[in-house]
Amino acid sequence: MSSLRVTGLSVRHRKTLALDSVDLALGTGVHGLLGPNGAGKTSLIRVLATVARPSGGRVEILGQDSADRRGRSAIRRRLGYLPQEFGYYPGFTVREFVAYVAWLKEVPAAGVPAAVERAVARVGLADRIDARIRTLSGGMVRRVGIAQAIVNDPGVLLLDEPTAGLDPEQRVEFRELLRELGARATVVVSTHLVEDVAAACTEVALLDAGRIAYRGTPEALTALGTASDGPGDHPIERGYTAALRAHRGPGAGAREAVR
């Protein structure tokens, strides 16, 4: 049973097609969304987050149609979203900020204080819960962003580049949290750090130029890399480039930049 189903999804930005009739069905687990810059990762996440309207296609989340007004409200209550550009009120404390988002997500008022403390503890900021956000480091602010996304115990959690700004130790902790969240929720993580995917994801979707180029497990992608002689320092990186090349077809290799 898929908690998230996308059919024929297209997103157009002026004249360019950011997503080109994408079909995707995701269930419980951590799904890594990989792809070069401009492949459409953020466009896809913003549509799934009910923030951007697709130009065509259908999005069903947790059994509700996101084009329908009531359905959208129901989805939004069960949704967690960390945008790529995470905006916040610098004067708010961590506790105030996360509680504010809980209020916006219509978490029942009686449960808010406990939910806020739990979410902040899960991202490892319990000792800074009453600090103003402007006094926190970049990595801590990112973790506040993750805390606000999980405060309502979302059924679908959308994270756009969540590991940007985290140091290696924090990234290891974050992957642990991802695995934990993925046990019960459908987690979609967009990233360009292939190691994050290898370590924390149960499934990978590779986007290229608005289309799904590859879908499989991180193990399968690694195996693809082991079998190929493409560029990359790590088997899964080689798998990434090999999958991209296979999707783009023969002769396209010259266009492709090695990241």
Partner 1 sequence: MTDGNARIWHASADLVARYADGSLPEPDAWSLEKHLESCAGCAGRVSRAVRGTAAGEALTQVREAVLARAPEPLPVRRAGAPGALSRPARLLWAAGPAVRGAWLPAVLVVAAAAMALGHGGGFPGARALLLAVAPVVPVAGVALSYGPHADPLHEITAATPAGGLRLVLIRTAAVLAVSLPLLTLTGLLLPASGAPAAAAWLLPGLALTLGTLALASFVGCRAAAGITAGGWLGTVLLPVSAAPVGEATARLADRLAGCLDGAATQGAWAAAAVLSAVLLAARRPAYDRPARR
Binder to partner 1 among 20, 65, 96, 173 (CB under 8 A)? 96
x-or-dash string of contact with partner 1, 1-40, rule CB under 8 A? ------------x---------------------------
Q: Which of 217, 216, 219, 222 is nearest to 240 (CA)?
A: 222
Q: Does 116 bind partner 1 (CB under 8 A)?
A: yes
- Confirm or reject binding of residue 183 to partner 1 (CB under 8 A): no
Q: What is the DSSP letter of 154?
A: -
d(CA 93, CA 220): 43
Near partner 1 by CB under 8 A: residue from 9, 22, 61, 112: 112
Q: Measure the CA–CA gap between 73 and 145, rounded to whole angstroms.
A: 21
Can residue 190 be called a binding residue for partner 1 (CB under 8 A)?
no
The sign of the dihedral angle between the CA atoms of 42, 80, 198, 125 is: positive
Least distance from C-beta 73 to partner 1, angstroms? Answer: 5
Alpha-carbon span 102 to 69, nearest angstrom: 21
164 lies in the binding site for partner 1 (CB under 8 A): no
Radius of gyration of the chain (CA): 18
Residues lying near partner 1 in the complex (CB under 8 A) are found at: 13, 47, 49-53, 66, 69, 72-73, 76-77, 79, 81, 83, 85-89, 91, 95-96, 99-106, 109, 112-114, 116-118, 148
